[in-house]
Chains A and B, each alone.
Chain A
Amino acid sequence: MAGTSSRKSGSAGTPTPSSTETDLVKEAEATRASAGYHLIGKRTPLIDAALKVTGRAEYTDDIKRPGMLVGRLLKSVHPHARIRSIDVEEARRHPGVAAVLTGDRYPTPFGVLPMTHDETALAVGRVRFLGEHVAAVAAVDEETCERAFELIHVEYEPLPVYDDPKVSREPVPVKIHDRALRDTNLQKEVFQHFGDVPKALEGASQKVKLSGKYLGVSHGFTEPHCTIAEHTPDGRLTVWSATQVPHYLHRSLSEVLGMPMHRIRVVKPEVGGGFGGKSDPFPHEIACAALAIETGRPVKVLFDREDVFYLNHGRHPTQNDVTVGVDADGKFLAMDIDALIDGGAWSSFGVVTTYYNGVLAMGPYRFDNFRYHGARAYTNHPPSGAMRAHGGTNMRYTVESVVDEIAARMSFDPIELRLQNFLPPNFKTINEFRITSNSVRQCILAARDRSGWEEKYRKLPYGRGIGVACGFYISGSNSPIHFTPVFPQCTVHLKADMDAGVTIHCGAADIGQGSKTVLAQVVAEVLGIRMDRCRVAAVDSDTAPVDLGSYSSRVTFMMGNAAKAAAENLKVPLLQAASELLEVPPDRLEASEERIHVKERPSQGVPFHEALHKAMETKGALVASGAYSTKPLGGTFKGAKAGTAPAYSFSAYVAQVDVDPETGFVHVENVWAAFDCGRPLNPLAVEGQIEGSIHMGLGQLLSEGLSYRGARLMNPSLLDYKILTPMQMPKVECLLVGEDDPEGPFGAKEAGEGPLVAALPAVGNAIYDAIGVRLMDLPITPDKVLRALEEQRKKGGAVKPPAPTRPSKRTPTHGGR
């Protein structure tokens, strides 16, 4: 169903723009349609959807290997302790047990970032969080594994437990890792200063500082981690795993097991969601492989939900302070940020996290003065890691709350205030990000017009409110994690053979976001063929060329470009063959509608398969390759590469809420989500990313949070960790107003992570509009709302904040840039 890419999810209650209003969404759609693509930009069902709705899609836990053993991991019962001894002899002798391993077997440290290897397959001499794995057992069944655990005797010597990142920042008697900075437990510290922040703040006519507090958040993917490993007599190791980054797993297996990469095969079956939570190479994946090597039999390690919570790697618990100074006209002068991030027991992506919490804070606004101090602390909490809109979410909430507060204090309409301060397209920021395409203005104007903002802002009755917030995110990290040897960030191989089908080989990991579908769309678009001729073979490291993985919202941009290049290369011999058949030079031919034909005379042509067979006469199957590498970007100062990307997504969301002052319950009614992903290659999938992001963002805002008592996680289950149900989802309207990006494939940019960031502060600001209190401690549970209202009453009564008094110049939908 080709159609409009602005769709309402609900049936009622959404005001439509007045007919006199210019509709930016329709305009953007019309511009895009004029390009005349046959597949790109069409609402395209996922190519594997039929397998998924019938239960046929194969996930790791669905795979059975002959003689497969059950692998289980014994969890530490201490958050921080020295392991004096582990006695596994009795467990090893227990009938049905095939192997028991401890940390000394494969002690090589590893981790996702080459500079911070501080994890091991199993604990070596020390446990650093409750739930860390101390031993691995392979046995005939689960019960036998459990019995073996009872027979493993671990003697622990408890160490001081660090559960507060503030303490980790000070000198400590025991360091969690030797590599922690100085005599503290800090893992990473970042200082950046551009311009002169103290001076600019001094000259500001208004300064607003807010502090945000954020609990950790779980990815909440529905498929628990699962890995199968098999070591065969030919000396090869095959690992099937629920991973979003097969290549890093491949490398880590090789490093830790001491086995060359070419003898290891990594297969990624269907993955039941990742959101960053399956992007580190994990200890259990390596332990599973180690058990397979040890036993010579296939071994499966499957997590239960509690294991998933203890392995964590979710969004970092964070405290941040953001100060922004503005001049009398509302121009942003300076931003000053301090962030303290609880990293838990391992580094994971922590260096990146620490940078991102600062460097992604300014966009989409222009600042000429910026200062950031960020610190990520080791604690004895389960490790935090990368989660959707990594490093861009918590900071964004505080920043957008500050902007809203400035508008309130200076009596601006918050949309007008933002419009004055946006980065223009084609601009270099003070921290040397290269901004190219940027449709943030269209985003905020579209969201304003569609939401009926003018009639609602400060005008709804007490308890109901509307709020706005913007977002900014990288469309693929410019610098790869591994840079030696040098290789492209993504490569795609194509093979077209007798059957006139095209096999697409690529290492990009589809984790439900639809990257396989994008591959097929791009290749079929370029070759002018139907999508069902394309089959995507992803991911088997034996056949798929390397893609760096599904993280940093890089896949559509980088894989899309690689696929386009590969298809264009495959087209060359096809045009040549058709040229011979038609006796017309190849540059006068084009491919469309399953044919290769003369450009200006479509009736003169040959079917795709005839051109293909002709081309194969002497060469056999056609093969082609395409690759994408980013160009060097960013400055030369320390940390200058962090946050550089070949493009950035932008967004502006308006949310409408209903807050019950009696119960403190926040009901989010509507979200108008205007998003700039450049040209949406598959609007159906882009909307799905936006809607899913809103769900995840609102969960963090309203009900989700990993709560600890000391170092003990108190809610490691989906009963106590509360993900929103269908009943709590607002109506969502997706407004795709982006212009083509100059470097993205067909003009596309990311839509996987950026759609999350504006959701939280749009609702936070709507709550402020509804009841006049600013809530900066997430999640905003009803008890916090009630407490804030109580405070407010003590101070003089529950009222809505006053309406802006500055004469609104009501920026027209067009012009005024």
Chain B
Amino acid sequence: MPKKVPVRLRVNGEEHELHLPPQRILLDVLREELNLTGTKRGCDLGTCGCCTILVDGEPRLSCLMLAKLAEGHQLTTVEGISPAGALHPVQKAFIDLGATQCGFCTPGFIVTAVAFLRDHPGATRDEISRALSGNLCRCTGYVKILDAVEAAARTLAPAQER
């Protein structure tokens, strides 16, 4: 059993001091050590996008990242996307427009879409579709996901252009 090393993670604005074997994967640590189970495990191989989180605001696959290497970065999981009691416009649109069915892919889509719209307010459907193409969904055929992100883009665009 390899020795444990100290790992300091900053997740959703909170500091965590952990002692972990150095090969621990970030996804495992989020889910198992920090109880942030909103981030899902669909493949463990970087092929499905279910485990997407934001690392310094950019979408990254947490199943492909060592927890130790996430030190010094700002991590955001789906739990940190919106303040308590409120919903991000992307989340709101996902609910209203039927963009979540089984919901297992949903956190990955939400964080990816939130980051994309932050940088590309008013993005077109084609641009959104390209931005989300690293996330697989087996339930929705993506149609309502694109509807929702497009609708959120419209809500966000005027605010951000100001």
Chain A interface residues toward B at CB < 8 A:
1, 9-11, 43, 45-46, 48-59, 61-62, 64, 143, 219-224, 270-273, 275, 304-305, 511-514, 684-685, 687-688, 691-696, 717-719, 723, 725-727, 729, 732
Whether A727 and B79, one on each chain, are in contact in the complex, defined by CB atoms closer than 8 angstroms, is no
Shortest Cβ distance from residue B31 to the other chain A in the assembled complex, whole angstroms: 8
Give the residues in chain A near B35, CB-CB below 8 Å. 64
Please indicate the chain B residues that have their CB under 8 angstroms from the CB of A732 in the complex.
Answer: 141, 143
Taking A9-B143, A222-B48, A692-B140 as contacts, is the C-beta distance between A54 and B79 under 8 angstroms?
yes
Q: Which residue of A lies closest to B110 (CB)?
A: A53
Complex Cα distance, B147 from A745, in Å, reads: 30
Q: Which residues of A contact B78 (CB under 8 A)?
A: 53-55
State whether A272 touches B40 (Cβ < 8 A): yes
List of A residues within 8 angstroms of B144 by Cβ: 687-688, 691
* From A49, A56, A57, A723, contact of B95 by CB (8 A): A49
Interface string of B63-107 (1 = CB under 8 A from A): 000000000000001110110000100010011111011111111
Q: How far is the CB of A673 from chain B (nearest CB, A)?
A: 11
Contact partner of A52 (CB less than 8 A), chosen from B48, B106, B132, is B106
Q: How far is the CA of A21 from the CA of B144 in the complex (A)?
A: 28
A-side contacts of B138, CB under 8 Å: 219-222, 273, 275, 692, 695-696, 723
For A222, what are the chain B residues with a Cβ–Cβ distance below 8 Å?
Answer: 40, 42, 48, 50, 102, 104-105, 136-138
Query: With a CB–CB cut-off of 8 A, which chain B residues contact A55?
Result: 36-39, 77-79, 107
Contact A727 B102 (CB under 8 A): no
Question: For residue A52, which residues in chain B have a CB less than 8 angstroms away from its CB?
Answer: 94, 100, 103, 106
21 examples of A-B residue contacts, CB within 8 angstroms:
A1-B96, A50-B91, A50-B95, A53-B91, A61-B31, A222-B136, A224-B41, A272-B102, A272-B105, A511-B102, A512-B139, A688-B140, A691-B142, A692-B138, A692-B139, A692-B141, A696-B141, A717-B43, A726-B130, A726-B132, A732-B143
Evaluate whether A270 and B45 lie within 8 angstroms (CB atoms) in the complex, with A726-B132, A726-B146 already known: no
Q: How far is the CA of A513 from the CA of B143 in the complex (A)?
A: 15
What distance in Å separates the Cβ of B1 from its nearest Cβ neighbour in chain A?
7
What is the CA–CA distance of A615 and B38 in the complex, to the nearest angstrom? Answer: 42
Complex: chain A residue closest to B100, CB-CB = A52
Give the interface size bracket for B toward A: 35 or more
**Smallest beta-carbon distance A337→chain B, Å:** 30
Known: A9-B146, A512-B103, A718-B45. 14 other contacts (CB 8 A): A43-B98, A46-B95, A55-B37, A55-B79, A58-B37, A219-B138, A272-B102, A512-B139, A688-B140, A695-B138, A718-B43, A726-B130, A726-B135, A726-B142
- Supposing A9-B146, A512-B101, A727-B130 touch, asked if A54 and B136 sit within 8 A by C-beta, the answer is no
Cβ distance B154 to chain A, nearest Cβ, rounded Å:
12
Q: Write the nearest CB–CB distance from A694 to chain B, whole angstroms.
A: 6
> How many angstroms from the CA of A513 to the CA of B140 in the assembled complex?
10
CB neighbours of B40 from chain A (8 A): 59, 222-223, 272
Known contacts A1-B96, A688-B101, A729-B141; A62/B37 CB under 8 A? yes
A691 to B101, CA, bound (A): 12
Known: A222-B102, A305-B47. A693 touches B141 (CB 8 A): yes
Q: How far is the CA of A237 from the CA of B101 in the complex (A)?
A: 30
B39, A273: Cβ atoms closer than 8 Å: no
Task: Write the B26-65 contact mask toward A (1 if CB under 8 angstroms, else 0).
Answer: 0000010001111111111101101000000000000000
Which residues of B line the A interface, CB within 8 A?
A: 1, 31, 35-45, 47-48, 50, 77-79, 81-82, 87, 91, 94-98, 100-107, 110, 125, 128-130, 132-147
A305–B40 CA distance with the chains assembled, in angstroms: 13
Residues on B with C-beta less than 8 A from A684 are: 97-98
Contacts of A270 in B (CB 8 A): 102-104
* Chain A residues within an 8 Å CB radius of B36: 55
The secondary-structure label for the interface of chain A is: loop
Residue of B nearest to A143 (CB): B1
Q: How far is the CB of B47 from chain A (nearest CB, A)?
A: 4
Residues of B close to A512: CB separation below 8 A: 101-104, 139
Also in contact, A729 and B110, with CB within 8 A (given A221-B102, A270-B102, A304-B44)? no
| B78 closest partner in A (C-beta) | A55
Q: Is the CB of B103 within 8 A of A48?
A: yes
Residue on B nearest A223 in the bound complex, by CB: B104
Q: Which residues of A contact B38 (CB under 8 A)?
A: 54-56
Residues of A within 8 A of B81 (CB): 54
| Contact of A53 with B100 in the complex, beta carbons under 8 Å | yes
Prevailing SS type, chain B contact patch? loop
B103 and A50 contacting across the interface, CB-CB below 8 Å: no
B63 to chain A, nearest CB (A): 10
Contacts of B100 in A (CB 8 A): 46, 49, 52-53
Q: How far is the CB of A57 from chain B (nearest CB, A)?
A: 5
Shortest distance in angstroms between B72's beta carbon and chain A's nearest beta carbon? Answer: 24
Identify the closest chain B residue to A12 (Cβ). Answer: B125
Roughly how many angstroms separate A685 CA and B145 CA in the complex, as a whole number?
13
Please, how many angstroms separate the alpha-carbon atoms of A55 and B31 in the complex? 12
Query: Which residues of the other chain, A, contact B145 by a CB distance below 8 angstroms?
Result: 726
Question: Which residues of the other chain, A, contact B1 by a CB distance below 8 angstroms?
Answer: 143
Q: Are B125 and A10 in contact (CB under 8 A)?
A: yes
**C-alpha spacing A36/B133, complex, angstroms:** 41
Q: Is the CB of B129 within 8 A of A726?
A: yes
CA distance A815 to B76 in the complex (A): 60
* Assembled-state Cα–Cα distance A727/B139 (Å): 16
Contact of B106 among A53, A64, A305, A726 (CB under 8 A): A53
Check if A726 sits within 8 Å of B133, measured CB to CB.
yes
Residue of B nearest to A57 (CB): B103
Whole-angstrom distance from the CB of B113 to the nearest CB of chain A?
11
Residue contact A695 to B142, C-beta cutoff 8 Å: yes
Closest B residue to A51 by beta carbon equals B103
Contact B79 A514 (CB under 8 A): no
Candidate in A222, A685, A696 with the most chain B CB atoms within 10 angstroms: A222
Could you say which residues of chain A place their CB within 8 Å of the CB of B97?
684
Compute how far the CA of A316 lies from the CA of B39 in the bound complex, rounded to whole angstroms: 33
What is the CA–CA distance of A139 and B47 in the complex, to the nearest angstrom?
A: 28
Give chain A nearest CB distance to B120 CB in angstroms: 15
Q: Which residues on the B side are within 8 Å of A688 (C-beta)?
A: 98, 101, 139-141, 144
